[in-house]
Amino acid sequence: MTTREPIDLSIAVHPEMLHWGRRPTYEMVEEIGPTNPSEVSRWLIGAHTGTHVDAPSHFITGGTTVDRIPITHTVGPARVLDLTHVAKEITADDLVAAGAAGATRLLFKTRNSTDALTRNVRSETWVGLGPSGARWLADNGATLAGLDYMTMEAPDHTVEWPTHVILCGAGVVILENADLALVDPGDYELVCLPVPFEGREAAPAPAVLLPLAA
């Protein structure tokens, strides 16, 4: 086989990163020195730290937990949609116009990639997925929806969280903080691998895109 150059979508995890809720921290358990051969660190991280997925149980009592997501939900052919023109929230019409039909794993490249995520700047006007877009994905067999910001929800909806409720209710895995800044829209193979936090609602989930095999 020919080697396929992977495109890394994961953002670095560190105490000064853009975060929702409490910031990630770490402590040094061991450091290399005269009496100790190795470094060992320990981390206190929210399950929603960095590039991560929300499982259905994030919003749905009894929903699938992050360790039980079928691996084919997050690994397989995926489409990166160009939504860089969207001003505020992605609608069902935006998805269709961008060519979403036929894809089941969809990544939304928006102006967040250059406005906020890669500059590690909190935005009050990020682009999210609106409820009509979430409904369209649920109705069209999506298994994964990914965005280039730390929440999929649009700024106007972070009280009721309708997009999360719709996606989690339909079993659509939500990938957040996917760095799409250097990714051209188009079709790839996605490999997104959640850390299997047993029984819980989310986990860091590093992700890469691989060019499709010829």
Phi, psi torsion values for 192, nearest 5 degrees: -120, 120
Task: Return the residue of 19, 58, 79, 157 that touches its own copies, per CB under 8 A.
Answer: 58
Q: Could you tell me if 50 and 148 are in contact, meaning their C-beta atoms sit under 8 angstroms apart?
A: no
Q: How many residues bind its own copies (CB under 8 A)?
A: 62
Two structure tokens written together for 123: 């935005």
d(CA 84, CA 94): 11
Q: Which CB sits closer to its own copies, 121 or 213?
A: 213
Task: Return the residue of 5, 34, 121, 124 that touches its own copies, per CB under 8 A.
Answer: 5
3-class state of residue 58 by DSSP: helix
Task: Return the residue of 18, 19, 35, 37 that touches its own copies, per CB under 8 A.
Answer: 37
Residues 154-213 that bind its own copies (CB under 8 A): 160-161, 164-165, 189, 191, 193-202, 204-208, 210, 212-213
Distances (CA, A) of 201 to 27, 54, 61, 136, 180: 25, 6, 10, 23, 24
d(CA 125, CA 138): 25
d(CA 168, CA 40): 36
Distances (CA, A) of 14 to 65, 107, 195: 25, 24, 17
The answer to the question of residue 38 lying near its own copies (CB under 8 A) is yes
The answer to the question of residue 35 lying near its own copies (CB under 8 A) is no
Catalytic site positions: 58
Q: Which CB sits closer to its own copies, 70 or 96?
A: 70
Task: Return the residue of 21, 120, 141, 156 that touches its own copies, per CB under 8 A.
Answer: 21
Task: Indicate the residue type of 119.
Answer: R
Question: Which residues make up the interface to its own copies (CB under 8 A)?
Answer: 1, 3, 5-6, 8, 10-14, 21-22, 26, 29, 32, 37-48, 50, 57-59, 61, 67, 71-72, 75-77, 160-161, 164-165, 189, 191, 193-202, 204-208, 210, 212-213
